Structure 1
């Protein structure tokens, strides 16, 4: 597939970029470029989306345009990292010319705005990243055998093509050999925090991969003869930087034309979202940005991510690399927003803590010869990293709006830049807290025409003991429009209506999934109180381990459906007839995923509300859809089992995406028409999204892996 997004504006910017291109010459060394690179930013979840997963727009982001890239520059960034896929855009070892042109479009936009562009080779199915070993070893599929020389040859082949395409660009274009080589190493009790150990032998393999990239780039001549190339530490972990330093790749250009790369996500503060563990707590707060009564959930002292650890780690990188003429790129860094877990003053303290952490981290990076590049995925829901808006179709506003003013200003201050106006902390907290009685309004809108899609309202419970409860109840009304029939009799499935149904689900024990249907939307249009008993009988909600409840929620499954749900007063009932409130929505909005989005609204059972859109009632021609039951999941230790109904036979793909939108496990499968059951093994732990694609169908469900 070609992705050739060239516009008139792009051509103009490309012309500006060409103005700084030079003929073959010796480009500046890394230590000379470093002071000009400033603060860095990632266009995440876009150009690195594998071609077989939809390419740049496959994970929900629009293709980068001139307005978006200019907004990056205006926000104060001077380096843009462009994570990129290559292998899934290649055939028989040749990268598509259309794809190279598409990547060039983004590179030209960045350089045309006077910024530095770091163009890397990202995960892309793990062809290199998951195979940093020679001979017998492990990847996500288990034990396997790899010939490292073959991976190195593939690396050299791709980079020769990439470098040839960009040979005449000046020092504003930087290449990066890989992303996080070895990050998906399996968890098998190894020496590296439980992962398969990354030792000297594996570092020699990684060194050969980096040297294959360097050899390819230098061989193409032009400015590539001395272009800066970034090489990654094992798994880009700071703790593995000594391995990279001890076996640093040899560059045909000589010393001074490379940079090193690490990533920085101190887990308990940055990524941990599944609740406290017996080995450690989630860190919502940081240093003095804390409510003061929750030291257990505050990152301070010697904890990873504290001021002390940041300074110690970064000064170590300076000694090991920068002082030897090798600046370091923090290719990715960030901390998620825990919007659903906190409210009020606690949420405010958390958001202020994040901003202070970003500011301190980039200031320390600057002091120690590091280029900090913040990770930005474009999403703005719970667990997001986003600073600059781009998904306006989902979140409104304008492309380029700053959605995290305080974090941006903390980083701008570290680089001596003036603050930008605005207050997003207070506005975020205000949205989460109200003294008024609130209800939850959920909006559903399917995207696919022949796919059973799911919208999920989920409440995370952190292993709650519900043994005292016998039922759950809530007030609910659902209404909407199912498109169809179509009028074009020449199209397959013409005359087939859309549909939607609602189910209540729970996860308990080792994340075992159980669900009970409430019926089709057509039977739920009147506001009513629904009370569901716990148990294994007809119409009851089965629970595998009621002493360890992980999550509960409501799924709407549908195709060709646009509509709304009104939800309020979720109660847990005891055998004696008394009840406790699970959630009244007055302060907290639970997680909304898939085709579900929504807001807290004044509770008003008889108020004027209804389907969010009724414009597509008739005359819509839709392909045939199976009345599928949606996606059903069972989650065990390192294993996700998915059951779904396929509308036709054919090859499909199942993928597991982590909280940053990166694919951590995937596999193809052959589906039969009707019921299918597939298993996906993964060593990833934490919150993730499972995506099943087959034919025109796509199912999406949030999971948490332990």
Structure 2
């Protein structure tokens, strides 16, 4: 001891503090049983990839949670939220003290749901794997020390919450994905026991709070075969948690061969082992082992990840069937939502994490149908535009402005009126689908509806065509846009439109000029009062050589009138050429030896083709080009 002695005053203060604290245990509530709590849970949803993201709520791409977002989840029909959470990255590893700011943020998110009457499950999730990946004797002591330290702090922070807050001790604890050994089961279940002991020791409402304990790897079959409930200081306050992703090749495997599931869909050889009868049998065994013994069971995670070519109707059928089979056996379900949009690979999202809007109504409806939670209250109205014209479609009540927003959800029975407005140069031709005629379109949203609005063009248009010629290369573009020639060399323009064409020579080429509806080498502007055609000539540019005292020519040079060497040149586009009476003469063009008529020819830097001809027998030899 350090020799410290109590003063009389300090001793009296401590005695008074003890008297003040003594009644607290009596003031704490005895919370309802686990069976009573589970009976109040209708439908559960996971706030996945958020608070369990390593070292920061937004680290895995989802935005920070808001009250408005949680309100949207509740409004969609979920009355319970499972909050996976990370703690280890937010704790001092020497003292195992959780950062106060992080505890406050987790508490704030819990309050978003708990404060509006929802049931909340808060856990220690993967958390970097310090516990989840180590059900081994060599880690058991150290992991249990940390498990106890963290749960003592978490439970103390939430001690005064009522029965609508539940704690879940771990997540998917496993050494591997094979059959667990005695060591794996023994150590994994010690983590459950440490969790229960730590929470109960904090007293207050935690003495009777419902706690959630997991089977090995949250696998139902491992639970049936190996799981033993932890001991507890109070009866009927524990819930068993399993997860369900059978068959893996349909639900989670990104390259799985199973693109369909269930009796209404084509059989998939890799998934024949886990069809409807399998689910009925498994969930029945779970009910008999625990639910019938007054031990509630939750399926803490389930779902089907989106991927290319996966049948979305089969996905919805699976989710509906899992919920129906679970409900028939008294199991509570929590859909895994990772925030990834269903249009992406590995998508589980029902909600847009920013707006709170429903992004997968089909999945939401399937889950609710399976769980027996009424008829979906919202239906989607979709507008498609067709025809050569343009225009917009707007709705009353608001939601659709197509334009950009061409679908919206409306409450069951809502009467929605659509109005079509044609753009200038277009006319509205009429409705098809859920409406007909050319007036306003009114639909009753007692089911999902689709409407097509057709707009026709009324403007007179003319075609502008561009042709490219010459030995060089380049592109021609237009303003306004339409031509990019390149590949798109014709376009239609409204009568009277002024179109400017710009020619851009490629490397190694020069622009030789326009012909047709334009001339010259500058920009070409045409008025589209009729169909127009323009030719752009591109010549190769050069690196070819020259020769002395050149004579310029076009087409035919005439006779050379000499038996000596001569030099001729032309800057015209040469599509072909030839020579006559060249007995004994040889020739280079741009410094490259050529036989009569041989292409290609190389221009020199000044834009000319130089024909250098040696002397010969006949003075009347000549060159001609076209």
Q: Is the 8 A contact 1:405 1:420 kept in 2?
A: no
The aligned counterpart of 2:565 is none
Matched residues in 2 for 1:416 and 1:197: separation? 37
Is 2:80 the partner of 1:106? Answer: no
Matched residues in 2 for 1:605 and 1:171: separation? 72
SS at match of 2:364: helix
Matched residues in 2 for 1:128 and 1:271: separation? 23
Is 2:257 the partner of 1:295? Answer: no
Q: Which runs of 4+ in 1 moved over 3 A?
A: 603-607
| 1:480-509 superposed Cα distances (whole Å, 9 cap, x missing partner) | xxxxxxxxxxxxxxxxxxxxxxxxxxxxxx
Please show how residues 623-634 of structure 1 align to structure 2 within 5 Å.
none
Is 2:89 the partner of 1:117? Answer: no
Question: 1:435 Cα deviation (Å)?
Answer: 13
The aligned counterpart of 1:237 is 219
| 1:323-348 superposed Cα distances (whole Å, 9 cap, x missing partner) | 1111111111000122xx32xxxx6x
Q: 1:303 to 1:527 in 2, by over 3 A?
A: farther
Is 2:360 the partner of 1:360? Answer: no
Please show how residues 19-98 of structure 1 align to structure 2 within 5 Å.
24-51=28-55, 55-91=56-92, 92=94, 93-98=96-101
The aligned counterpart of 1:313 is 282
Q: Normalized against structure 1, the TM-score is what?
A: 0.49
Greater relative contact order (Cα < 8 A, sep 6+): 1
Question: 1:23 Cα deviation (Å)?
Answer: 5.1
Equivalent of 2:337, from 365, 376, 379? 376
Question: 1:527 Cα deviation (Å)?
Answer: 9.8
Question: 1:113 Cα deviation (Å)?
Answer: 2.0
Question: 1:420 Cα deviation (Å)?
Answer: 3.0
Matched residues in 2 for 1:244 and 1:76: separation? 35
Q: 1:307 to 1:27 in 2, by over 3 A?
A: same
Q: 1:160 to 1:288 in 2, by over 3 A?
A: same
SS at match of 1:235: strand
Question: 1:244 Cα deviation (Å)?
Answer: 4.8
Q: 1:423 to 1:357 in 2, by over 3 A?
A: farther
Q: Is the 8 A contact 1:219 1:225 kept in 2?
A: yes
Q: 1:298 to 1:240 in 2, by over 3 A?
A: closer
Matched residues in 2 for 1:296 and 1:221: separation? 53
Matched residues in 1 for 2:364 and 2:489: separation? 41
The aligned counterpart of 1:260 is 240
Question: 1:409 Cα deviation (Å)?
Answer: 1.1
| 1:166-219 superposed Cα distances (whole Å, 9 cap, x missing partner) | 00000000000001001xx34xxxxxxxx4541233211111111111111001
Equivalent of 2:350, from 387, 398, 401? 387
Is 2:306 the partner of 1:337? Answer: yes
Instruction: Could you tell me which runs of 5 or more consecutive residues in structure 2 were left unpaired when the two chains were aligned.
Output: 1-25, 389-473, 477-486, 492-626
The aligned counterpart of 1:406 is 362
Q: Is the 8 A contact 2:69 2:356 kept in 1?
A: yes
| 1:47-106 superposed Cα distances (whole Å, 9 cap, x missing partner) | 00121xxx1101111111011100110110111000000111000200001111000001
Q: 1:122 to 1:527 in 2, by over 3 A?
A: farther
Question: 1:421 Cα deviation (Å)?
Answer: 2.2
SS at match of 1:233: strand
The aligned counterpart of 2:253 is 272
The aligned counterpart of 1:212 is 194
Matched residues in 2 for 1:83 and 1:69: separation? 15
Question: 1:389 Cα deviation (Å)?
Answer: 1.0
Question: 1:411 Cα deviation (Å)?
Answer: 1.8
- How many residues end up aligned between the 2 structures? 365
| 1:577-636 superposed Cα distances (whole Å, 9 cap, x missing partner) | xxxxxxxxxxxxxxxxxxxxxxxxxx97999xxxxxxxxxxxxxxxxxxxxxxxxxxxxx
Question: 1:364 Cα deviation (Å)?
Answer: 1.4
Q: 1:400 to 1:149 in 2, by over 3 A?
A: same
The aligned counterpart of 2:230 is 249
Q: 1:435 to 1:295 in 2, by over 3 A?
A: farther
Q: 1:228 to 1:296 in 2, by over 3 A?
A: same
Is 2:261 the partner of 1:286? Answer: yes
SS at match of 2:163: coil
Q: 1:166 to 1:234 in 2, by over 3 A?
A: same
Q: Is the 8 A contact 1:289 1:352 kept in 2?
A: no
The aligned counterpart of 1:418 is 375
Q: Which is greater in Rg?
A: 2
Q: Is the 8 A contact 1:76 1:417 kept in 2?
A: no
